[in-house]
Amino acid sequence: MKKFKLLFNLILISASCLLLSCTPNSLASIPNNAPISIQGTITKIGNTPFEQIAVYIPKYNTSIPLTFKFQDHKTKAINNQGKKLKLKGLFQINTKKLANTTKEIKFYSLLVTSIN
C-alpha cells in the first residue's frame, strides 16, 4: 500500500511539472517566428510621429508592438483600443546594436495573422 501511494505521488508530481513547464515564463524563451496565440488589451505606445499599436499582456507585464498582415486586421485593432482581443500570429525577435556596438538589444513584435 505504501508503494502504491509513493508511486501515485511521483506520477502526480511529474504530471504537475510537465503542465507547468508548457507555458513560457518570459518572452525570451519564445523562439523567433514561433506561431503564438495571445490575449491582451490593445493599446498605443510611443509618441505622435512614432506611435505604434501594441498589445499589453499582463502575464509578461509588457506591451508588444503589432505589425499586420492585412489592413482590415489593423483597422479592427484600432477600433478596439482599450479592449481585450485574442490575437494569433508569428512572434518576431529583432536585435539591434547600440551605436558604440558594445551591446545588443532585443526588440519583440507580433505579426498578426488573425484577430478575434
Tell me the whole-structure pTM to 2 decimals: 0.72
**Nearby residues of 34 by Cβ (< 8 Å), 6 or more positions away:** 90, 91
pLDDT over 70 at 81, yes or no? yes
Question: Please, are residues 72 and 116 in contact by the beta-carbon 8 Å criterion?
Answer: no
* C-alpha 78, offset from chain centre: 19
- Please name the residue ranges forming H helices in 1-116: 2-20, 71-79
How much of the chain, in percent, has pLDDT values that exceed 70?
Answer: 78
Residue 85, classed as helix, strand or coil, is strand
Q: Given pLDDT bands bounded at 50, 70 and 90, which one contains residue 111? A: very high
Q: Given pLDDT bands bounded at 50, 70 and 90, which one contains residue 102? A: confident
Residue 27's pLDDT is what? 79
